[in-house]
Chain A
Amino acid sequence: MPLPSVSWSSRSGRALIVQGALLALLILAGAALWRNTQGALAARQIRSGFSFLSEPAGFDIGEGPVPYTPRDSYLVAFAAGLANTLRVSALGIVLATVLGTLIGVGRLSRNVLVRAGCTAYVEVLRNVPLVILLFGTYLVLTEFLPEATEPISLPGSAFLSKGGLHAPRPLWAAGWGAALLGLPLGGAAAWLLARWARARRARTGRGPAVGWAGLGLVLAGPVVGWLLGGAPRGLELPEPGPFGVAGGLSLTPEFLALLTGLTLSAAASIAEIVRSGLLAVSHGQAEAAGALGLRPRQTTRLVLLPQALRVIIPPLTSQFLNLTKNSSLAVAIGYPDLVSIANTAMNQNGQALECILVIMAVYLSVNLVTALLMNLYERRVALVER
């Protein structure tokens, strides 16, 4: 193999020289920054490295699904924060998608009042910063609600107060496990049914409509599991007491404010995505489907929706990622998400560099996983062009 000529007169030589210079520059800059950092850390007597992760964190975390005590290590604390981030983001994504779809469809309504209301919602929510929304909601929840000792009673044994929302929680019993087990079984049965119907349609040209039956199977799985498991119905009811409401499912005002803010603002963006996706399918498609004899529901399901979804899903995914990233605003109102926990940790031990690296690594991995899934999806729905 001939060596590439390293001279300025050839194009490949110039490319090599420029890139070599660039690499050298990057290394030099990196080394300089590294030296500065070492000096600054030594001067401030801050240690470096990730060994602190295994030491006891010492601070308390208000809420979350991960069992955690101040004696647990920083690593467990970060895990608890991540669980809180995922909890609020997942719930927010579901709620924002539902609300956003309704509003997006409403903006195309033939009723002028519905249209105007949905447009006003989108225009206002898209033009007010999320931070303002969060602070406002949080203050309303913590200032205007009654004290936890005298909560507002909501229907269904739920209580709302400065201490947050308390609702009944089903007591864990073996029957719930059977119900959970029933879900994948029902799903598998529905899938088999759909496969059979498709194969039959391909073979004979006629196939039974199995949409409702499939949905029924998916729902029947957990119900049957629950019944077989002895139909547990025990609920843990929240009880108002002299020290506030105790027991049951408890959602803190921080969680509620963050969830509300994230949902309301993401719904506005999602509404715009849904609207433009629906508008992207030309009217001729519906007319052509009608001319072929498809019924309105079939037209929607087989012709319009698949094409609209192809336009909607990629920006929708990036909205989901945005919502997850925006959940880091939790630090502003004190919900213990990953960023808040890292913030507390670095205020405590001064290892800002490491704590921020942990946050970045987690967010980047969430992004990476989503991007991989998106690529799979896009490959599946990509137009097959001749």
Chain B
Amino acid sequence: MPTPAGAAGHSELGGPRLPPERPGGAWAWARRNLFASAWSTLATVGAVSAAALVLPATVRWTLLDAVWRPDYQACRALDYRGACWGMVAEKHRLILFGRFPNAEHWRPLVATLLVVLALLVSGHPRAWRRWLLGLWATVAAAFFVLMRGGVLGLSPVGSEQWGGFPLTVLLTLAGVGASIPLGVGLALARRSGLPLLRAGARLYIELVRGVPLITVLFVATFVFPLVLPQGMPLDALGRIVLAITLFQAAYMAEVVRGGLQALPRGQLEAAESLGLGWWQTQRKVILPQALVLVIPSFVNSLLSTFMDTSLVTVVSMYDLTGALRLALGDAQWRNFFIEGYLFVGTIYLVCCFGLSRYSHWLEARLGRWARQEPSRA
């Protein structure tokens, strides 16, 4: 039993005393967390009364009074007193798959599910082996076969008809995936001993990071057709993927540079003293350690690119956001845009929230790994 504070008197010099015990129980918890001071009490009262005002109305609007069938007359009769989820029920295929031919919707569905499965598999560090590259190559091939068609008896579907969630996923993964090698190259160039290479990489990174993504998308749409050689097999989708890749590479380079800087200099010196050349040092010593350190940042880039792809709407691509606007083009259902935006917003929210939780988990796990590392030596 710890002696109660003060009771032992000052006669003996004890060690550090335990803090006074906190009283338990619900009331004590509420005193600490809800009514600690006058301000705290005020905030509690304010929050509770705001919730009492807003929550019942919200529940009534979203759930109790809502119309769930795609029934336009019923939705009109609501007069906005309840949500018209019928709008989503009516348009969900258009929102999720864009202008992909209706009869073939199973193809983007299967393609996207494959990609999501591959993502889930790659999530665990135990899967970070060489076979993962093979898995992704297979999944990418399957994705394009399913989307494009023209083989295996699938009817061909041009990329201008791709849209909705599969397009968002494609833009995100292709952009981030292709930007990783580019970003690693840029980061290495920025730290290289060759002044010209260093300056070039730095110039590129600063230039791209200084301009908004929308200008880069404009470049893809309006300038690439002028600048690139005539007859280059690059459609609008390809140009946008190229632009997102070039844009993301500059950010990726900074992420990778952070990892390179976090490595102690001794690693480089040890590798050099073993007689490894520059390429060998980078490939076998520096990069494997630096890249593992920045994997959580890669996940964060994935997250921000996922949200940034919604910008392609501006250059007439029908990604998830664009497909929603396409759906809202229907004058009949246009009045129920709030339901549509809530639906699409929730999709983004769920995906991004999941990714950011995963990134936190990974950071904690890899942090543990990185902290253990020195003691193993």
User: Which A residues form the contact surface with B (CB < 8 A)?
Assistant: 15, 18-19, 22-23, 26, 32-33, 36-37, 39-41, 109-114, 117, 123-124, 126-132, 135-136, 139-140, 143, 325-326, 328-329, 331-332, 339, 343, 346, 352-353, 356, 359-360, 363-364, 367-368
Binary flags per residue of B291-314, CB closer than 8 Å to A gives 1, else 0? 000000000000100011011011
Residues of B within 8 A of A139 (CB): 337-338, 341
Chain B residue numbers with a CB within 8 Å of A112 are: 33-34
Counting chain A CB atoms within 10 Å of each CB, the highest count among B36, B207, B210, B356 belongs to B210
The majority secondary structure among interface residues of chain A is: helix
Chain B residues whose CB sits within 8 angstroms of the CB of A33 once the complex forms: 227-228
- Asked if A111 contacts B310 (CB within 8 A), the reply is no
Closest B residue by C-beta to A133: B345
Contact status of A131 and B313, CB under 8 A, knowing A19-B196, A136-B341, A363-B210: yes
Contact of A127 with B215 in the complex, beta carbons under 8 Å: no
B352: CB under 8 A from chain A? yes
Known: A114-B43, A127-B348, A131-B313. A359 touches B211 (CB 8 A): yes
Q: Give bound CA distance, A262 to B313, whole Å.
A: 18
Asked whether B361 is an interface residue with its Cβ less than 8 Å from the other chain, the reply is no
Residues in A neighbouring B270, C-beta threshold 8 A: none
A328-B214 contact in complex given A19-B197, A113-B44, A353-B223, C-beta closer than 8 Å: yes
Q: How far is the CA of A276 from the CA of B123 in the complex (A)?
A: 27
Residues in A with CB closer than 8 Å to B230 are 36, 39-40
> B191 an interface residue at 8 Å Cβ cutoff?
no
B-side contacts of A117, CB under 8 Å? 47
Note all chain A residues with C-beta closer than 8 A to B223. 352-353, 356
Give the residue of B206, B348, B353 whose beta carbon is less than 8 angstroms from that of A129: B348
B218 (CB) vs chain A CBs: closest residue: A356
**Cβ of B33 and Cβ of A129 under 8 Å apart?**
no
Q: Which 6 A-B pairs have the closest CB atoms?
A: A352-B222, A127-B352, A325-B212, A129-B307, A112-B33, A328-B212
Assembled-state Cα–Cα distance A343/B314 (Å): 11
Q: How many angstroms from the CA of A123 to the CA of B321 in the assembled complex?
A: 20
What separation, in Å, do the CA atoms of A346 and B219 have in the docked complex?
A: 12
Min Cβ gap A302→B in Å is 24
Q: Please state if A352 and B226 are interface contacts (CB–CB under 8 Å).
A: yes
Most chain-A CB neighbours within 10 Å: which of B196, B228, B308? B196
* Distance, CA A117 to CA B166, complexed state (A): 33
The answer to whether the Cβ of B20 comes within 8 Å of any Cβ in the partner chain is no
Contact with A along B219-256 (1 / 0, CB 8 A): 10011011111100000000000000000000000000
A15 and B196 alpha carbons, distance in the complex (Å): 10
When C-beta atoms are compared, the residue in chain A nearest to B325 turns out to be: A135
- Nearest Cβ on chain B to A110's Cβ, whole angstroms: 5
A-B contact count (CB 8 A): 147
Q: How far is the CA of A110 from the CA of B35 in the complex (A)?
A: 9
Cβ of B214 and Cβ of A132 under 8 Å apart?
no
A36 to B231, CA, bound (A): 11
B196 touches A22 (CB 8 A): yes
- Determine which of B196, B197, B341 lies in contact with A135 in the assembled complex, contact meaning CB atoms within 8 Å: B341
A22-B197, A110-B33, A136-B345 known; A332+B314 contact, CB < 8 A:
yes
Q: Closest CB of chain B to A17's CB: distance in Å?
A: 10
Task: Enumerate chain B residues within 8 angstroms of A143, measured Cβ to Cβ.
Answer: 335, 337
A-B contact pairs, 26 of them (CB 8 A): A15-B194, A18-B197, A19-B195, A19-B197, A22-B194, A22-B196, A22-B200, A33-B227, A39-B230, A40-B227, A112-B34, A123-B353, A127-B356, A128-B352, A129-B307, A129-B308, A129-B348, A135-B341, A139-B341, A143-B335, A143-B337, A329-B311, A329-B314, A339-B215, A339-B218, A363-B212
Known pairs A22-B194, A109-B40, A129-B321; list 15 more (Cβ under 8 Å): A15-B193, A36-B227, A111-B40, A111-B44, A126-B352, A127-B356, A128-B307, A128-B352, A129-B307, A132-B348, A135-B321, A325-B211, A329-B311, A353-B226, A359-B215
Residue B113 lies at the interface, judged by CB distance under 8 Å to chain A: no
Q: A367 to B349, alpha carbons, bound, how many Å? A: 30
Find chain A residues with CB under 8 A from B356 CB. 126-127
A132 partner residues in chain B, CB cutoff 8 A: 310, 321, 341, 344-345, 348
* Minimal beta-carbon separation of A235 from chain B (angstroms): 33
Task: State the CA gap A334–B352 with chains docked (Å).
Answer: 28
Q: Known A40-B225, A40-B230; judge A339-B194 contact (CB<8 A).
A: no
Which residue in chain B gives the minimum CB-CB distance to A332? B314
Bound CA span A352–B220, Å: 11
A214 to chain B, nearest CB (A): 27
B32 interfacial by beta-carbon distance below 8 Å: yes
Contact with A along B33-53 (1 / 0, CB 8 A): 110100010011001100000
CB-based nearest B residue for A360: B211
Q: Which residues of A contact B207 (CB under 8 A)?
A: 360, 364
Q: In the bound complex, do residue A343 and residue B321 qualify as a contact, i.e. CB atoms below 8 Å apart?
A: no
Please determine whether A339 and B348 come into contact, CB atoms closer than 8 angstroms: no
Say yes or no: A332 contacts B227, CB within 8 Å: no
* Chain A residues whose CB sits within 8 angstroms of the CB of B352 once the complex forms: 126-128
Interface string of B144-165 (1 = CB under 8 A from A): 0000000000000000000000
From A110, A329, A343, B36 is in contact (CB under 8 Å) with: A110
Whether B34 pairs with A360 at a CB distance below 8 angstroms is no
A368 to B218, CA, bound (A): 22
